[in-house]
A and B are shown apart, each in its own frame.
Chain A
Amino acid sequence: MSLATIADQEVHVDEEGFLTEYDEWNEELARQLAANIGIELDDRHMEAIRFLRDDFESEGETATLRRVTTLSGIPTKVLFQLFPKKPAKKMAYIAGLPKPTGCV
């Protein structure tokens, strides 16, 4: 774990740059994190990100793609358009959550 400055804020991140403290996240930070991976956040992105944040708060782990689709109603296809190639990982990164372990 190390400290990084993102959007002028000092935050804790892991070796891959994922935020490690749930409470250090805010929307301004999210915009910068998204920009880091070439995504410009709009309302549709934010709907998914907010779902992930809320779900993590109650469940204590990052939702899998299937969970996002089933519970938020956003189709998988759309998630792939919004967060190309690796939606689960990218959403977690922007939402300031641990990489989804999903599966072992």
Chain B
Amino acid sequence: MVANKLRRRLPDGEWAITIVDQDPEHHYQPGYLLIPFGVYDPSTVVKPRKRFLPRGVNTVLGEIDLVEPEMNRVRMADGTTLDYDELVIATGVIPRPDQTPGMEGPEWRQSVFDFYTLDGARALADKLKDWDGGRLVVHISEMPIKCPVAPLEFVFLADSFFEERGIRDRVEMTYVTPLDGAFTKPVASKRLGAMLEERRINLESDFYIESIDNEKKALVSFDEREVPFDLLVTVPVNMGADFIGRSGLGNELNCVPVDDGTFQSTAWDNIFALGDAADIPTSKAGSVAHFAIELFTENFVQHINGDEMTHIFDGHANCFVESGDGKAMLIDFNYDTQPLPGKYPVPRLGPMSLMKETRLNHYGKLMFKWIYWNALLPGRRLPMPVLMSMAGKEVVEE
């Protein structure tokens, strides 16, 4: 998206744009969630990256070893180097099962699964196909994680999946989280907590994982609680790319500390971090990155002209939450305003409903895949406001 937007804005002769990527394929990551339940076929969420890059952009396929900010240079794993005037880091976060003792033990991909990778989602689809019940535990290792609503969506979808197969009464479901409730923000946490209860899904909160006991098949917390499982679907610790840590550009999770409004590195004026790779205090969600990039493009042009950056990001996030049974809910929030009920994007008319489960929201979510491939990645502007608006939202008591 950045390359597509900037190539249009920066004169060819003055600015050369180079993209470094280690993967020739681009994955539609929101699609992973629907693979375990057989809704999406894995082949529909992967496309060659080349297709989405504009003309006039160089592509380097390979792994980055280090960024040397004092030299304005990127060092590749194969020893070659790339010099830069301005550097944009958008390497996201990656699930790291190796960070929790026992996660990659003998039960990994036997009874312990993840769904934030294509391989994991595919393996889980195979497992669920003929699983006939028992204790299903869905677990978040540590916050922040990308798409923080996805684990909740997973349990909602699992509930309807088992219901449809007629084995729901043979499945005991537990949702295990390090948070003190179903979600982070009070109003949404209450609503989502009630949705868990309605579906007879147990909630184990404030659970900070120490290890997975493969023999007992149980999660073990630092305060010595144990949650036994027959099937565990876990979200491993999410960390930024290792090269960020090696380059001294990251915090304890290898995310780059940046200004919340402009994404400029707090340490280096000519380094920006966008999307999940940054440490901004909002959800690590695709929508955040999309909104942020609109503003970043304007800011970047000001920045290279030596002007002050005036397009300040508000932390806007907008997420569809699949709730099972062909319905979904929509939430819209930012740094300061938590998700609230109401209508979106047009006040009173919608057509989407905020914080309410509707069929239309579900179709919105399914449609988004098309929008993603055909409008977002090519850098076309969507007809939605970039900054969050209070219009159409109802203020409610917590």
A-B contacts besides A67-B251, A80-B223, A101-B281, 4 pairs, CB < 8 Å: A71-B252, A76-B210, A89-B180, A104-B281
Q: How many residues of A contact B (CB 8 A)?
A: 19
Instruction: Identify the interface centre among A61, A66, A71: most chain B CB within 10 Å of its CB.
Output: A66
Interface residue ranges of B196-214 to A (CB < 8 Å): 206, 208, 210
**Bound complex: CA A66 to CA B209 (Å):** 12
CB distance from A21 to the nearest CB of B (A): 20
Could you jot down 9 A-B contacts, CB within 8 Å? A64-B252, A65-B208, A76-B208, A77-B222, A85-B223, A89-B180, A102-B143, A103-B144, A104-B283
* Chain B residue with Cβ nearest A89: B180
Q: Is the CB of B281 within 8 A of A70?
A: no
> In the complex the two chains form, what is the Cα distance from A21 to B180 in whole Å?
25
In the assembled complex, the Cα of A102 lies from the Cα of B206 at a distance in Å of 13
A103 to B206, CA, bound (A): 13
CB atoms of A104 and B252 under 8 A apart: no
B252's partner among A70, A77, A80, A102 (CB-CB below 8 A) is A70
* CB-based contact A102/B223 at 8 Å: no
B57 at the interface (CB under 8 A from A): no
Tell me if B387 counts as interface (CB < 8 A to partner A).
no
- Tell me whether B148 and A104 are in contact (CB under 8 A): yes
* Interface size grouping (class) on chain B: 20 to 34
* Residues of chain B within 8 A of A76, CB atoms compared: 208, 210, 222
Across the interface, name the chain A residue whose C-beta is closest to B185. Answer: A104
Binding site for B on A (CB under 8 A): 61, 64-67, 70-71, 76-77, 79-80, 84-86, 89, 101-104
B142 within 8 A of A: yes
Hey, which chain A residues are within 8 Å of B148, CB to CB? 103-104
Cα distance A70–B255 in the bound complex, in angstroms: 14
B160 interface residue (CB < 8 Å to A): no
For residue A89, which residues in chain B have a CB less than 8 angstroms away from its CB?
A: 180
Q: List residues of chain B with CB within 8 A of the CB of A70.
A: 252
- Which residues in B have their C-beta under 8 angstroms from that of A80? 208, 222-223
Q: How far is the CA of A86 from the CA of B293 in the complex (A)?
A: 36
In the complex, are the beta carbons of B210 and A77 less than 8 A apart? yes
Contacts of A84 in B (CB 8 A): 223
Q: B179 an interface residue at 8 Å Cβ cutoff?
A: yes
> Given contacts A66-B253, A103-B179, are A85 and B142 in contact (CB under 8 A)?
no
B 231-252 to A, binary, CB cutoff 8 A, 1 in contact else 0: 0000000000000000000011
Q: Report if B282 contacts A (CB, 8 A).
A: yes
- Determine the residue in chain A with the shortest Cβ distance to B333: A104
Nearest 8 interchain pairs by C-beta: A103-B143, A103-B144, A70-B252, A80-B222, A67-B252, A80-B223, A104-B184, A104-B283
With A and B bound together, what is the CA distance between A70 and B223 in angstroms? 19
A residues in contact with B142, CB < 8 Å: 66
Which residues of B (332-363) have their CB < 8 Å from a CB of A?
none
**Contact B144 A104, beta carbon cutoff 8 Å:** yes
Most B Cβ at <10 Å: residue of A80, A85, A103: A103
Q: A101 CA to B282 CA in the complex, in Å?
A: 10
- Which B127-177 residues have C-beta < 8 A from chain A? 142-145, 148
> Bound complex: CA of A101 vs CA of B252, how far in Å?
16
Q: How near does chain A come to B128, taking the closest CB pair, in angstroms? A: 28
Q: Are the CB atoms of B253 and A104 closer together than 8 Å?
A: no
Question: Distance (Å) between the CB of B99 and the closest chain A CB?
Answer: 10
In the assembled complex, the Cα of A103 lies from the Cα of B252 at a distance in Å of 14
CA distance A79 to B185 in the complex (A): 25
A79, B210: Cα distance in complex, Å: 13
* Interchain CB contact under 8 A, A66 and B223: no
Instruction: Contact check, B144 vs A66: say whether CB atoms are below 8 A apart.
Output: no
Of A65, A66, A104, the most chain B CB neighbours within 10 A belong to A104
